[in-house]
Structure 1
Amino acid sequence: MDLGAGQTEAGEFTLLLEFDMDMAGFTSNWSYCDRLSTYFARMISHNRSDSLLYSNLFSSALNELLETVYRLHAPTGSFVCSVSRNGAKDRIALTIPVDTETEGFYRDAVVVLNGGDVSPRYHNALFSDGPLQPNIGLLELAVDYAACFSIEPADGNAIRLIAELTLEASAP
């Protein structure tokens, strides 16, 4: 785990916290999603105007992302999660090992998330018959937290899914 505290130029994000673990270790226990999201939220919310509210919101958002990765990833590889901040905006970057099918899921999900009309898509996915769609957590973040998503290639057979969200109107 890496704790970052360096100053950056205006407009850049400062790394706050990062973990790197083998995907097999991460997926060995579903509760790691909750434990990691809770830990990260507590570590990065201490200087927010309402640190308890901020911690709860951030934990919920990160947990949705971690649960998506838990369900959709390649069987082997390194999983990295980092949180950076620029003022009131947090950036969660997840480096996820992928195979062709999994990479396609994440690329398609980002297209949908950036395609507009996300709220009706989320509502339809939430109330449709049958199992929930695999991108339901990402849709929830886009609707409830106004998260903006992007995707980029990472080293090896991996992609980097980036979610940016603002949980507080202004930085303290």
Structure 2
Amino acid sequence: MEEEASRFDDHAFVPMVSLEMNVAVFKSQWQFCDEITEYLSDILGQGHSDPARYANFLSVAANELIELAFRATNGRGKISFSLARSATSNRLRIAFPCDEEFPRKHMQTGSREIQPGLDDGSGQLVTKSDGALLSNLAAIFGAAIHIEKDGADRIGIIADFPSAEDFQ
């Protein structure tokens, strides 16, 4: 939706590929996570001095984010995956429908950005493993990873990975 545009500057990014599928089909087989990851990672590797190494390394992060979407989606509607590239970053965006419960547990009042791990300001960790996962992926890959509201009943996971090949 136009009104619910991401806070991230998409203007600097050139679209590479997008894939959309029915959530029920996506959730019908866990192996779709691996297959979609492999497809997207191969595309991310294009243009690098060692495409297989870059694609293989980023496939770990992409797979974790796709599996997070697999677990979080409510099973209705469409899930979309897209890749875009800027001069310094590669962006993976996953948007999918979710129940009201997910944003309510993870979003601060009045915010469009999900705060992984906090339950309505109570300070109780309710998704400690997912919050730790996102934090660890961001640190290991030097990525900026955010979860935002994407329409009334959808969320988007946006991950910007540096296009430099100097992973640690």
TM-score range, shorter chain: 0.7 to 0.9
Q: Deviations over 1:29-64 (max 9, x none)?
A: 111111111111112312112111111112111101
SS in 2 for 1:57: helix
SS at 1:21 equivalent: strand
Counterpart residue number, 2:137? 141
Aligned to 2:13: 13
Partner of 1:100: 100
Partner of 1:111: 115
- Change in CA separation of 1:169 and 1:54 when aligned onto 2, cut-off 3 Å: closer
- Which segments of 5 or more consecutive residues in structure 2 lack a partner in the other structure? 1-10, 118-127
1 CA distance for matches of 2:131 and 2:84? 23
Change over 3 Å in CA distance of 1:29–1:87 after alignment to 2 = same
Number of equivalences: 144
Q: State the Cα RMSD in Å.
A: 2.7
Alpha-carbon distance, 1:146 to partner: 2.1
Identity of aligned residues (%): 25
Output the CA distance in 2 between the equivalents of 1:157 and 1:36: 23
Q: Is the 8 A contact 1:110 1:149 kept in 2?
A: no
Match of 1:160 in 2: 156
The 5-angstrom pairing of residues 8-157 of structure 1 reads 12-105=12-105, 107=107, 110-112=114-116, 133-157=129-153
Distance across 2 between alignment mates of 1:145 and 1:97: 27
* Normalised TM-score (structure 2): 0.73
Displacement, 1:97? 0.5
Query: What secondary structure does 1:134 align onto?
Result: helix
Instruction: Indicate the residue corresponding to 1:5 in structure 2.
Output: none
Distance verdict in 2 for CA 1:60–1:94, change over 3 Å: same
How many Å separate the matches in 2 of 1:46 and 1:85? 11
Q: Shift of the alpha carbon at 1:136?
A: 4.1
Answer yes or no: is the 8 Å Cα contact 1:88–1:169 preserved in 2.
Answer: no
- CA contact 1:68–1:137 (8 Å) conserved in 2: no
Q: Is the 8 A contact 2:54 2:165 kept in 1?
A: no
